[in-house]
Amino acid sequence: MNQTDVLAELRERLRRFADERDWRQFHAPKNLASALSVEVGELLEHFQWLSEEASRRLTPERLGPVREELADVLIYLVRLADELDVDLAQAVRDKIEINARKYPVDKARGSIRKYTEL
């Protein structure tokens, strides 16, 4: 199964999940974007105060909760895209192309500069 199919399957499962609970009434884009922001903050909490190296080597005890927060982030992102009728896989492909033009390899390789500074 390719990633577009995976995202489509997740979108349908999440839509069904929300419909079964009559939750779509609460899933206005504004609410989903707010919930997404909260979940990203909860994800960030797991990395707060860790060194860069420690953040790359999470113990299994730390990775479990991080995995759950990553899932929450993706859930809200997929629901938001669904409510806005955005093909998330295509949006990502399009954005990669935009970024490739903004950050050509010969100028951006190994640099943290913004595209306007390259």
pLDDT in tens, 77-94: 999 999 999 999 999 999
Residues 6+ apart with CB under 8 A from 42: 69, 72
Residues 6+ apart with CB under 8 A from 17: 23
* 106 pLDDT higher than 80: yes
The CATH number assigned to the domain holding 59 equals 1.10.287.1080
User: Is residue 101 in some structural domain?
Assistant: no
Question: What is the total count of domains within the chain?
Answer: 1
User: Is residue 103 in some structural domain?
Assistant: no
Query: For residue 43, how many C-alpha atoms fall within 13 Å in the half-sphere facing its CB?
Result: 14
**Torsions phi, psi of 88, nearest 5?**
-60, -45
User: Is residue 51 in some structural domain?
Assistant: yes
* 116 pLDDT higher than 90: no
How far is Cα of residue 81 from the mean position of the Cα atoms in its chain? Answer: 11
Share of the chain above pLDDT 70, in %: 97
Tell me the pTM: 0.89
pLDDT in tens, 18-51: 999 999 999 999 999 999 999 999 999 999 999 9
User: Is residue 79 in some structural domain?
Assistant: yes
User: Is residue 41 in some structural domain?
Assistant: yes
User: Is residue 40 in some structural domain?
Assistant: yes
For residue 34, which of 80, 89, 86 has the smallest C-alpha distance? 80
